[in-house]
Each structure stands twice: as structure tokens, then as C-alpha cells.
Amino acid sequence: MTIAGRLKTETAAAHDRLDARLDLLQGREHYAAALARFWGFYAGAEPQLDRWHARAPLVDWPERRKLPALRSDLLALGLTPAAIDALPVRSFEDDPPDAGAGFGWLYVLEGATLGGAVIARHLRKARTVPAAALSFHTLYGRRLGSRWRAFHAALAAWAGDDRARGDAVVAGALATFAAFEEWCLP
């Protein structure tokens, strides 16, 4: 199976659990609280991905950072800059990703952006959240599909048919799903 197929299959249960538990349509307060937890997760993970990318630039990671969009949404939801800076951050200092794990992390974060377009559609329909607070869930706009394919092309070029590399990516993705669930839905 391709690495893309393996990731989708082997993380499906973790994704479905999150999807079932993360109800983002409950209302503005609930949405703001969820994004505040997302913020803490990405604020810990993104500096690690910066270092991962600095060691070996295997994909256009810097253009994929999500923190600016999360910040802008939290501001639109009424948080002050000081309140955002004071949010708890999930530390990944003890667990920096190697080449394979970094791809696994990024698969999960890029996948959340892919699924985000669907979530944004539901949020717009439910009208529970101001449109100005939807930038995290509408990242990449029309380039969403091409950016997802470009990520997978870079991943496939690195992993090839190498079983051990594929295993490392899948393990990194599963660990990221688990950390995300533990942090956002304790």
C-alpha cells in the first residue's frame, strides 16, 4: 500500500474518535475554548516542526504554519493578545520529531486543514461563529487540494517503498492524534 493509503487506513480509528468527540458547532463560547486548546497544541508543535525543517527541508513547511490563523480567529472571538499569549502550551521539547515522525505530525496537521473546509461549511450554516473567526478552518482557500497533493508528493518522494520509513511516519501520525486528543479532549 502507498504511504498515503497506510496513513489514512491506520489512523482512521483515531480520526473518527476525534470527529465524534470534537463538536465544534455547539456555539461561540465552546468554539473559542476549543480553538484556545488548538492554539496551545500548535504553539508547542510548530517550533518543533521549524527545527525539523531546518535540519532537512523536505517539504514547504514554513508556508503551512497555522498559528497566525489561530491567533486571528481568537482575536475575532474576543480574546486579547495578552490572553492568547497566556494560554497553556503543550510542550514537545522532550520528543522532537526525526525525519519520519515529522512527516507523521505534518500529515495530521495538514489533514486537519483539509477536513477544516468541511467544518467551515458546517460552521457557516450553523451561524454560531462570526465569519471573521473562520480563518483556521479555511486555510489555503482554493489551493487546498493542490497543497494536500503537494504534501503527499513530498512525503512519497521521501518514503518511497521503504517499509521502515513508512512505519516511522505512521507512528508519528498516531502519536500526534493521541497527543491532540489528550490535550484538546482530556
Angstrom distance (rounded) from CA 165 to CA 100: 6
User: 128 and 25 in contact (C-beta within 8 Å)?
Assistant: yes
Query: Which H or E run includes 182?
Result: helix 163-184
**Binding residue for ligand HEM (CB under 6 A) from 6, 10, 17, 22?**
22
Closer by beta carbon to ligand HEM, 8 or else 165: 8
Closer by beta carbon to ligand HEM, 14 or else 79: 14
Residue 129 corresponds to which cell in the numbers above? 461563529
Does 115 interact with ligand HEM (rule: CB under 6 A)? yes
Work out how close the CB of 80 gets to ligand HEM at its nearest, in angstroms, rounded to a whole number: 26
Angstrom distance (rounded) from CA 51 to CA 97: 9
Does 24 interact with ligand HEM (rule: CB under 6 A)? yes
Does 43 interact with ligand HEM (rule: CB under 6 A)? no
Does 49 interact with ligand HEM (rule: CB under 6 A)? no
**Binding residue for ligand HEM (CB under 6 A) from 15, 17, 65, 165?**
15
Residue nearest to ligand HEM (CB): 111
**Hey, how many other C-beta atoms are within 10 angstroms of the C-beta on 6?**
16
Q: What is the largest CA-CA distance in the chain?
A: 48
Does 112 interact with ligand HEM (rule: CB under 6 A)? yes
Does 130 interact with ligand HEM (rule: CB under 6 A)? no
Angstrom distance (rounded) from CA 1 to CA 13: 18
Does 129 interact with ligand HEM (rule: CB under 6 A)? no
Does 165 interact with ligand HEM (rule: CB under 6 A)? no
Q: Three-state secondary structure along 123-170?
A: HHHHCCCCHHHCCHHHCCHHHHHHHHHHHHHHHHHHHCCCHHHHHHHH
Q: Which part of the chain contacts ligand HEM (CB under 6 A), choosing from 69-77, 91-99, 110-118, 157-165?
A: 110-118
Q: Which residues bind ligand HEM (CB under 6 A)?
A: 7-8, 15, 18-19, 22, 24, 107-108, 111-112, 114-115, 118-119, 180
